Structure 1
Amino acid sequence: MGKLGVIIVAAGKGSRMGTAESKQYLQLGQKPILVHTLQLFQNIHEVNEIILVVGGNDVERCTGYVQSFALSKVTHVLAGGAERQDSVRRGLEALEQDTDWVLVHDGVRPFVSREHVFDCLSKAKEQDAAVLAVPVKDTIKVVDSAKRIQSTPDRRSLWAIQTPQAFRLSLLREAHQRALQDDFMGTDDAMLVERIGTTVHVVEGDYYNIKITTPEDLPWAEWILQNVRGEEQQ
């Protein structure tokens, strides 16, 4: 099996939510969104440790969550960097040295199913790198800065990438180190791995694994919690 570490990234300000509070700390049911996410991985037996990366001003609050919600697998609560990539790199540096596999997951995705977490990890163990994703439902247009349509890619080739993203730890560390050396900033961890020549495989997830980023997401999240992915359904 090898040791499995999880990096939960929750350092974002969440300006699109339009609230004074960052989105990961908004209440969902009776708990902050972030706590739902942490508990999901806390309850997966195969996870050895969780590294939580948050905004510098939120370290104390999140350390409190770890204690009050008995999140015993959270070994570090770290202040994130300027960009998500910097935050993930800090998480990678904190993982125990004998860790073999790592999952990187968004703190505001509390509804990924355990089955899909394992599917993604299993594919990474075969291929070194795998990400959860779903086929795009809508027609996508490439649009220029003047809002003029430039092209229409074939929808059958388009997938919306989710998290977790699963990697052999040594591979992801190398990808991050190379990006740092080259001053390259990617949009996700898979992009950094692709960039050093490793093929990343897609594992199909589902549309309930939403990223809670705008006010419209909250009622939908409450519905998923009540009907699909609450703790009693996991």
Structure 2
Amino acid sequence: MSSKQAVWAVVPAAGIGSRMQAEIPKQYLLIDDKPVLQLTLERLASHPAIEGIVIALAENDQWWPSLSLSLSCELLIAKGGKDRSDSVSNALKLLQQHIEHNPWVLVHDAARPCLRHADIDAMLDTLADDAVGGILGIPVSDTVKRVDDNNMIQETVCRQGLWRAATPQMFRLAPLSEALISAAEKSLAVTDEASAIELAGYQPRMVEGHSDNIKITVPQDLALAALYLRQQAGGN
């Protein structure tokens, strides 16, 4: 993207991450003595195109005050919602009250601390003039099976054209806000921002990212993320 147009990041961080089987939300678990959420925010804030971050926190979040943050961009705090889409919607509403223009917004998972600046650059460059926006993803390389309720294999699914959706997901502030509100009003379940944009009748673009942009979901992911961060720091 020429001129490095400024963008805002939105981080929904109100979830509890039950699959981690931990006593605290997964975004506050430690990787090399730093909370996952802090690593994620620092990675976003240190990118030169990020003008500010809006984070959506649970109302009873007792761990947030313990973070030692010194970010190089503006930080706004929105109220988290029942679902991810509610948290993102609340964050977008706060941002609309805070600024007058309609910037690109990068919605990024709180539990993806290994996002590379190169992947943000790829999104900004690829989507700069896109009418809709798009998301970061990885082509599916494994053989994919569909099973029934008893885990009996029903078929092998052709993986051609299949991608694993990741984040950031990059859309203009106003259309994304409208799409999320519309989906909520129609009681349509959306698992990511692209789903809402698709339901609004648009086609987002897929941008290929690095496979080390993992989401912390199960306990062993913490060690894997620590390894990836060390590799990235070493220039690998």
TM score, norm. by length of structure 1:
0.90
Paired letter, 1:122: D
Q: 1:120 to 1:210 in 2, by over 3 A?
A: same
Q: C-alpha separation between the residues in 1 aligned to 2:154 and 2:103?
A: 44
Tell me the amino acid that sits aligned with residue 87 of structure 2. Answer: S
| Structure-2 change in CA distance of 1:50 and 1:63 (3 Å) | farther
Find the aligned partners of 2:189 and 2:74 in 1 and give their Cα distance: 27
Q: Distance in 1 between matches of 2:65 and 2:103?
A: 26
Give the alignment's Cα RMSD to 1 decimal.
Answer: 1.9
Partner of 1:202: 206
Q: Is the 8 A contact 1:131 1:203 kept in 2?
A: yes
Give 1:139-154 correspondences, 5 Å limit. Answer: 139-154=143-158
Residue 20 of structure 1, aligned match among 20, 23, 26: 23
Correspondent of 1:45 among 19, 44, 48: 48
- Structure 2 residues without counterparts, runs of 5 or longer: none
How far apart, in 1, do the equivalents of 2:184 and 2:100 lie?
A: 20
Structure 1 residues without counterparts, runs of 5 or longer: none
Of the three residues 115, 120, 124, the one matched with 2:118 is 115
Instruction: Deviation per CA, 1:116-153: give whole Å up to 9, x if none.
Output: 11211333322221111111121111222222223322
Aligned length: 229
Secondary structure of the residue aligned to 2:12 is: strand
Counterpart of 2:87 in structure 1 is 87
Contact 1:63 1:77 in 2 (8 A): no
| Equivalent runs, 1:157-168 vs 2, <5 Å | 157-168=161-172
Distance 1:63 1:47 in 2: 23
- Distance in 2 of aligned mates of 1:72 and 1:62: 18
Instruction: Give how far 1:97 is off.
Output: 3.2
Q: What is the percentage of aligned positions where both structures have the same residue?
A: 35
Task: Report the counterpart of residue 62 of structure 1 in structure 2.
Answer: 64
**Matched-pair contact (CA < 8 Å) for 2:28–2:63:** no
Tell me how far apart the structure 2 counterparts of residues 57 and 173 of structure 1 sit (CA, whole Å): 25
* CA distance in 1: counterparts of 2:79 and 2:172, whole angstroms: 24
TM-score (norm 2): 0.90
Which residue among 7, 14, 18 is the counterpart of 2:10? 7
Once the 2 structures are TM-superposed, how far is the Cα of residue 19 of structure 1 from its aligned partner?
1.1
Distance in 2 of aligned mates of 1:63 and 1:50? 17
Partner residue in 1 for 2:78: 78
